[in-house]
Every structure is written in structure tokens, then in C-alpha cells.
């Protein structure tokens, strides 16, 4: 039997999904897309999961689209109809980006090695990007005549500003993890030797926090980007009102007052 394209492991309330095509730096085939989306849907539906970690097997995180996948590999036969790359985005990359940004639990991208093309932008769709010092990020699209996708054109200017976003996208230069952290593109860079432990501790810590409030934090921040100040304030009041009536706020506030550890359960 062939090995699973996405490995799934549970430790406490943390679900770790490992992209598993190491020989091709975990680049996306149609089958790996399906496997990752199924695994994310499963984690979203499972009340025992309170944090998801996405990482890569072997020396890479994800090299974006597998350029040899028959779905998009160029057919050089004279007169052949060009492959419909737009459809590939509609069918796979758009649903992936939306799935990541609507997960009911926090999602960590644990970038263990190179993240290129849609592999980098998949990571930027996650809530926290933690990279090993030896990892790097490449907007590889310009080198093959494409634009950043999987949310790249939307995310990059918002994360690092227009000048850096355009510079990264046009040059396709490799951005070392330390530089990515310095310019605010990612949350944290960690020495390779401490990478697994640091990601594990962060994931367990997030899993013990009020999950629903964390997911609503992401949702409100993403929505606020499109709103004026007054509407942003109104959104906060509406969401805070809802959270204030939920279990986790009562638990968090009373645990604080009673000087004990809170037990959160909303999701
Ligand atoms: O149709 C569409 O493209 C639409 C979708 C767009 C979304 C996208 O993501 S477009 C961008 C696609 N990705 C790339 O262009 C990146 C291509 N890869 C690279 O530039 C380099 O591999 C890296 C800079 C990421 C890493 O370089 P290096 O020197 O560390 O490794 P390598 O030797 O190039 O790669 C190792 C193996 O992985 C190699 O296979 P081999 O020779 O050992 O059998 C290489 O062919 C394979 N590999 C790496 N990336 C891809 C890939 N195979 C297929 N597709 C890849 N994207």
C-alpha cells in the first residue's frame, strides 16, 4: 500500500498534519490537495482537536504546485490546448486558503524547510508561522510566468507592505527565515535543534486557551481589514457581546478571580 500523502497524528488536543511527498519537497498534486482538505475538514469537525499544526516531511515544507502533475504539466505537443491553471486554483488553492482561514481552531504552520510558491502562501494563510532557522520562503511564481496565488497577492502587501510584497514577488528571491521574521512576515524563527519542541509547546499552549475566542480573533481581524474604524469597533462590540455570554468567558473570568487554572471548552 502506498504511504498517505498527509500524515495525521494527535497529541493531547493538538492535531499535526504532515505533508508527505518528501522526494518532491511536498509539492501539491491533486491527490495531496484532496488529502489535506479532508484532513483539515476532519480536524475542524473533531471536538477533541483544539489546535492544528501543518508541517512537511523531510527537508522541505512545501514547494507549491507539483509542476509535473499531469493536471497542469505543460503539453508541448504542437497545437495542444493549454492546461487550465485558473481551474486548478478554483478547485484546490482557493478552497484550501478559505479552509485555513475559517478553521474553528488556531492553525500553526511549522515551516521546517523551504516553502515556495503556493507552499509559502499556504503558510501565510495560517494563524502563526514558526520557521526553523534553516527554512526559507520563495515567491517562485515570477520565475515561471505566473503571479502569486493561494492568497499571495492579498496577503503579502498586508503582511509586509507594498514595497516588500512587490520586491519578493517580482524577484522571486529566497527569503531566509530570520529575515522573514525580521520584516514581520512570520511569527517566529527558531534554531533547528529547538524547532520541534518549540512548535509542540506553542501548539499545546494554544490548545489550552479559549479556542472560540482565538478563532473569533482571527475572524474579526480579517474582517476589520475591509472595514472603516467605526465599523471595526461595532464588529468588536457584537463579537464581544456573543463571547461574553459564552461559557469560556465566565470560566476565564471566574478562574482569574478564584485564582485557579481555567478549563475552557467552547469551540
Ligand atoms: O500550474 C501552476 O503552476 C499553478 C499553480 C501555482 C501554484 C504554485 O505554487 S506555482 C510555483 C511552483 N513551485 C515552484 O516553482 C518551485 C519549484 N522548485 C524550486 O524552485 C526548488 O525546488 C526549490 C527552490 C523549492 C528548492 O530547491 P532545492 O535545490 O533545495 O531542491 P531541488 O533539487 O530543486 O528539488 C528537490 C526535488 O524536488 C527535485 O526532484 P529530483 O530532481 O530530486 O527528482 C525537484 O524536481 C523536486 N521539486 C521541487 N519543487 C517541485 C519539485 N517537483 C515538482 N514540482 C515542484 N514544484
Task: Classify the phi-psi angles of 12: left when phi > 0, otherwise alpha if psi is within -120 to 50, otherwise beta.
Answer: left
Shortest-distance atom of ligand 1 to CA 66: 55
* pLDDT of amino acid 75: 86
Mean pLDDT of 16-33: 98
* pLDDT of amino acid 87: 94
Q: Distance, CA 1 to ligand 1 centroid (Å)?
A: 26
183 contacts: CB under 8 Å, gap ≥ 6: 160, 164
Mean pLDDT of 104-110: 98
Residue from 47, 31, 11 nearest 19 by CA:
31
**Per-residue pLDDT for 195 more than 90?**
yes
**Per-residue pLDDT for 168 more than 70?**
yes
Cα 191–chain centre separation: 21
Q: Over the stretch 58-85, which tens digit does the pLDDT of each residue have?
A: 999 999 999 999 888 888 889 898 889 9
- Write down the pTM of the prediction: 0.97
* pLDDT of amino acid 76: 87
Mean pLDDT of 217-234: 97
% residues pLDDT > 70 (the chain): 100
| Residue 192: other Cβ atoms inside 10 A | 13
Q: Distance, CA 67 to ligand 1 centroid (Å)?
A: 7
Cβ–Cβ < 8 Å for 28, 92 = yes
Q: Distance, CA 13 to ligand 1 centroid (Å)?
A: 33
Q: Give the chain's count of helices (H) and strands (E).
A: 11, 10
* pLDDT of amino acid 1: 58
Domains and CATH numbers, the chain: 6-207 (3.90.226.10), 211-258 (1.10.12)
Mean pLDDT of 81-101: 95
* pLDDT of amino acid 74: 85
* pLDDT of amino acid 106: 98
**Per-residue pLDDT for 97 more than 80?**
yes
* pLDDT of amino acid 66: 97
Amino acid at each position: 500500500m502506498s504511504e498517505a500523502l498527509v500524515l495525521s497524528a494527535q497529541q493531547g488536543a493538538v492535531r499535526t498534519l504532515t505533508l508527505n511527498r518528501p522526494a518532491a519537497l511536498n509539492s501539491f498534486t491533486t491527490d495531496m490537495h484532496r488529502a489535506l482538505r479532508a484532513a483539515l475538514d476532519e480536524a475542524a469537525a473533531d471536538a477533541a482537536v483544539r489546535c492544528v499544526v501543518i508541517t512537511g516531511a523531510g527537508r522541505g515544507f512545501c514547494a507549491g504546485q507539483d509542476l509535473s502533475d499531469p493536471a497542469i504539466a505543460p503539453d508541448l505537443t504542437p497545437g495542444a490546448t493549454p492546461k487550465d491553471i485558473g481551474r486548478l486554483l478554483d478547485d484546490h488553492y482557493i478552497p484550501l486558503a478559505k479552509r485555513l482561514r475559517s478553521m474553528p481552531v488556531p492553525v500553526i504552520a511549522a515551516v521546517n524547510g523551504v516553502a515556495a510558491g503556493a507552499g509559502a502562501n499556504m503558510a501565510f494563510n495560517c494563524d502563526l508561522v514558526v520557521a526553523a532557522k534553516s527554512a526559507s520562503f520563495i515567491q517562485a511564481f515570477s520565475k515561471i510566468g505566473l503571479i502569486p496565488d493561494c492568497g499571495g497577492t492579498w496577503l503579502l502587501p498586508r503582511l509586509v507592505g507594498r514595497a516588500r510584497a512587490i520586491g519578493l514577488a517580482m524577484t522571486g528571491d529566497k527569503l531566509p527565515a530570520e529575515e522573514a521574521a525580521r520584516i514581520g512576515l512570520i511569527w517566529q524563527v527558531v534554531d533547528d535543534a529547538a524547532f520541534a519542541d518549540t512548535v509542540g509547546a506553542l501548539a499545546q499552549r494554544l490548545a489550552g486557551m479559549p479556542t472560540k475566542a482565538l478563532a473569533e480573533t482571527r475572524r474579526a481581524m480579517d474582517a476589520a481589514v475591509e472595514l472603516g474604524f467605526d465599523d471595526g469597533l461595532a464588529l468588536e462590540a457584537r463579537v464581544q457581546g456573543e463571547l461574553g455570554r459564552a461559557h469560556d468567558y465566565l470560566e476565564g473570568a471566574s478562574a482569574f478571580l478564584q485564582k485557579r487554572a481555567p478549563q475552557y471548552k467552547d469551540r
